[in-house]
Structure 1
Amino acid sequence: MASAAPIVVHPPSRTGGRRVVARGHILGLAHSDADVIEFLRRAGLDDAEQLLDDPAWVTWRGGRAHHYEAA
């Protein structure tokens, strides 16, 4: 079984935004792809833009990927 992606973007919350977690550490609440990219850059991933659609790096849970509106 392949290992899980190190970055998880959780389902949209009832108030909007998605929690972003890297290896069990909460990076923040994203309201756009730009937020996710900034969180990942702050975590040391300079090529964050290319990682968003790479399932080896990012798992999008619940809802559609790149969708941040309230659930």
Structure 2
Amino acid sequence: DLPGQIDEGERAGLLSSDEATWLRNYDRKVMDLIHVDDFAPHELGTNGKPRLRIDTPVQEQNELFA
């Protein structure tokens, strides 16, 4: 939890108030960039093909993808 670590660093005197404020603002901007919830279903990585297990016999694999 970076905001908590920033608070701890400020309380311990490792960060000045200005440094802590800058880090909190920077962290907030990064979180805004990476917390995206706007994906179309085809962008989620599923393609509908069954996954193979390592112990699936070769003949069965061939039938799945025939």
Query: Aligning the two structures, in what range does the TM-score lie when normalised by the shorter sequence?
Result: under 0.3
TM-score (norm. length: structure 2): 0.24
Question: Comparing both chains, which one has the higher relative contact order based on Cα–Cα distances under 8 Å and sequence gaps of 6 or more?
Answer: 1
Structure with the higher helix share, 1 or 2: 2
Bigger radius of gyration among the two: 2
| Structure number with higher strand proportion | 1
